[in-house]
Structure 1
């Protein structure tokens, strides 16, 4: 099988370096026209930007025989999302792929940062990606085709001293899983990736040996190469949380542990029996809200002829 993106158009945010550049180069190498988006500022989002990094990547793509254009707007607002999308439409006439890669770091103790820094961080790492998805969604729905990859992080699982980053990257997971359900009948596949790769954020780690290990063993090009299939028409996988880096690929899922059930459950019973509920030898995979809700039906049967509605977009059995 040869994965080819000829005739397709991709927006890649944060594509002026690191993983974003790797995505842009990989997709362009396989035939896609690329909107190379990068605001060109600091890794913490604190500096004024410039078009230089994006221009450099565009020049690389064109020199290699590809097609690309620069967009140097910072992600984070609805207006900028619409403008980024318009750049793609004005330049190439369509949009098939969105890679929400742009992100900043903001490590430190829980109360360390100014209000504005926290809000700017969420805007870049979560809100901007959401707005971009909203901007491309009607276009992809109209053509009955689209591929979206949201770059999350295993930092969403908890690191310590990294709460804003973990929270924003967790938000990308919820955004992905919900949009995947809505997008599936429209031909829009939405997945998230937790990449393990060298990047400018890794350069912020104070231990030089750790940074060197990432640089030598976990190249951003390996992430882009592994993810290309999920961005192609050949793949209909959606709602996946993918883990990749250094040539490794896996998938992260949610699972429930063992349980306690007693309609009269109270605090004293929980104190005595909580190990039963936390028993990790009895795992039940949970892929969506409907599956989570179904865990209750074994004990509390629904007798109205259909499953209860646990929220918008939930399929009823």
Structure 2
């Protein structure tokens, strides 16, 4: 099934060129199918790129997906045009009376700040609380995942001495999990962060189950089964050149910045990187969508009532 996104969203042209099946509003209206309603709370500065990355993964599913782009009311992006935000986004205040089968919360460039010093922290915590009654399942990524485990479980994050950047191997610790079905025993995932969540800080009651972990880069994926949330501390959604672009940006600030590890062939930044995580990302997101589809109520009004 295709993914339903706005007809004039900039991501549409590039995704169509890749062969992704996209659906217009008029075509969706003719099908007697209830699509999965997925909200994307996009906290990343380059919002069009993030839209494209997640739409690509969501649209590869055999399910029909209706993607809603959500922004914070308490924060105005500085690097995405006001026209783009007005055309394609609604604030959480505008959608808070609606219900969603799934909610994705992205990362944000605020990870070295204490949570309480982030200008929109109060609104984000209200969104997490709202999700317990208006969202069937959630997926939080990078800083969004750290924010989720902090809010729901009081788990702190720790600032590291150096940025952890690269494509690292991760062990599949729960191959029988529906979220990891079909994944290899070891998979590679892009990592790009200055902070980490440590295993010793996880709650002792087993509320958070570790699904993916790396000896080199640490915790990767946690499951909060009671809330039906997944917390992904890394970036399976990244495109082939995303880490290269971040590396070039970081070198403008600090020319001594080392290249992302295990990313460029032979760790040589003059050689173009090869994507070794694309299939893992598609399978992981596809598994998440399938689990949402299998467990969500058919009637949207019943979400949050169970």
Give TM-score, length-normalised by structure 2: 0.42
Give TM-score, length-normalised by structure 1: 0.41
Computing the radius of gyration from Cα coordinates, the structure with the larger value is 1
The one of the two structures with greater contact order (alpha-carbon pairs below 8 A, sep at least 6) is: 2
Whose helix proportion is higher, 1 or 2?
A: 1
